[in-house]
Amino acid sequence: MRAFVINKYKEPLREAEVAEPAVGERDVLVQVQAAGLNQLDEKIRLGEFKQILPYKLQLILGNDLAGTVLRVGERVKRFKPGDEVYARPNQDRIGTFAERIAVAEEDLALKPVSATMEEAGSLPLVALTAWQALVEQGQVQPGQKVLIHAGAGGVGSIAIQLAKHLGATVATTASSSNAGFLRDLGADIVIDYRTQDFEQLLSGYDLVLDSLGGENLQKSLRILKPGGKAIGIAGPPDPAFARKAGLNPILRLAITGLSSKIRRQARKLGVSYEFLFMRASGDQLRQISALVDAGVLRPIVGKVFTFGQAPEALQSLAAGGFRGKAVLTLTN
C-alpha cells in the first residue's frame, strides 16, 4: 500500500510502498480517508523525541485519522466493517499517513455523525490534548479563569471551546486578525501577542495551557493565582512524565534536570508546572464525539491537502498562516 515514511531522522518525508498492516485479535483495520497533520509529526521527523519514543526506521508518520472500518479482529466487540471511525493511535503504533492502518480497539471511536471525514481527521490529537489538559489534569471548574496560548492553532481552537463549555472565563493570545474568530469560539479576552504583553494584562488565573514554552511559559507562571497550575505541551518534560513513560533511570534523571528550573520558579511563586504528553483514548474520543454532535465543539480545518501533497503539507506547518488544523485527504 502507499504510505509516507522517513528512513532517517531529519530527512524529508517520502512516498513508499509498504506492507499491509498486521491485524491482531483486538485490532481494527481502517481505510484512512483523512489524516490530520500535527507539530508532533514534524518533531518526530526531526528526531526530537527519539530518546523517549525510540521508533524503528523505516517509519510511517501520522498521528490522526478518520476513515471506514474494513475488518476487525476476532475479539473486537465495539466495531464492525462499514463503521465510520476516528482515532489517535497509541504512540507505539502511529502511521496514519497511509492508505490503511490497524488500530487497537481501545484507541478507536465512532466519528461524530455531524462531522465530515476531514473534520473528524483533524480532531483526535488536539481534542484529546485539550481534554486531558483541562478536564483531567486541570480539573477546570465553573467560574475559574483559564489562559490558552496560541488560540487560533489546532489545540488552542478546541481548548477555548472546551474551557468555555466547562464554565471558565477564557483568555487567549493570538494575532489581532484572529480576534473575531476566537471570540466566536468563546474567548472572553483576546490578547494580541504582537502588540500586548499578557503578563501586564492578566492576573489571578487558575490555569494556563502553554504550547510555546521558554519565556512564554515563565511569564505564564506569574499570572497564576497561588495554587494555580501551568500545563505545558511544548515542554520541558517533568519527572512525572518520565515515570509514566517508564523511561530508564538515566533518561529520568536528565528529564528531571531539564524541568528543574521551571519547577523551581513555580514553587517560589506558590504555583505548579506539569508537562502533558497526550495519550490515546477511545473512551475520551466518544465523549468528544458527543460534544461535537451537540454543537459544543466545532472542528476547525484550516487547510486540506491531497495525500500526494503530504511532504509539502508537513512543511506548511512551520509557515502557518491558517487557523486550526491542516488535513490530508485520501480519495480512492
Residue 229 is inside which H or E element, if any? Answer: strand 224-232
pLDDT band for position 135 (cuts 50, 70, 90): very high
User: Does 301 have pLDDT greater than 80?
Assistant: yes
Among the listed residues 250, 261, 315, the one whose alpha carbon sits nearest the alpha carbon of residue 52: 250
User: Does 304 have pLDDT greater than 90?
Assistant: yes
Please, where are the H alpha helices in 50-172?
Answer: 117-122, 124-131, 154-165
User: Does 332 have pLDDT greater than 70?
Assistant: no
The pLDDT, as a whole number, for residue 95 is: 98
pLDDT band for position 139 (cuts 50, 70, 90): very high
CB atoms under 10 Å from CB of 82, counted, come to: 8
* 237-to-19, 44, 255, 309 alpha-carbon distances in Å: 34, 16, 6, 32
C-beta separation of 238 from 253 below 8 A: no
- Among 14-18, 214-218, 317-321, which is the least confidently predicted range? 317-321
Q: What is the mean pLDDT of the chain?
A: 95
Among the listed residues 304, 288, 67, 48, the one whose alpha carbon sits nearest the alpha carbon of residue 161: 288
Q: What is the mean pLDDT of residues 148-169?
A: 98
- The CATH classification number of 2-123+299-329 equals 3.90.180.10
Dist. CA 314–CA 312, nearest whole Å: 5
The pLDDT, as a whole number, for residue 50 is: 84
pLDDT band for position 75 (cuts 50, 70, 90): very high
- The string of pLDDT tens digits covering residues 159-199 is 999 999 999 999 999 999 999 999 999 999 999 999 999 99
Residue 11 is inside which H or E element, if any? Answer: none
Report the sign of the C-alpha dihedral through residues 150, 153, 154, 160, in that order: positive
Q: What is the mean pLDDT of residues 40-53?
A: 89
User: Does 331 have pLDDT greater than 80?
Assistant: no
Dist. CA 98–CA 16, nearest whole Å: 10
Please report, for the chain, the start and end positions of each structural domain, with discontinuous segments joined by +.
2-123+299-329, 126-275
Higher pLDDT, 153 or 241: 153
- The CATH classification number of 126-275 equals 3.40.50.720
Q: Is the full-model pTM beyond 0.75?
A: yes
pLDDT band for position 318 (cuts 50, 70, 90): confident
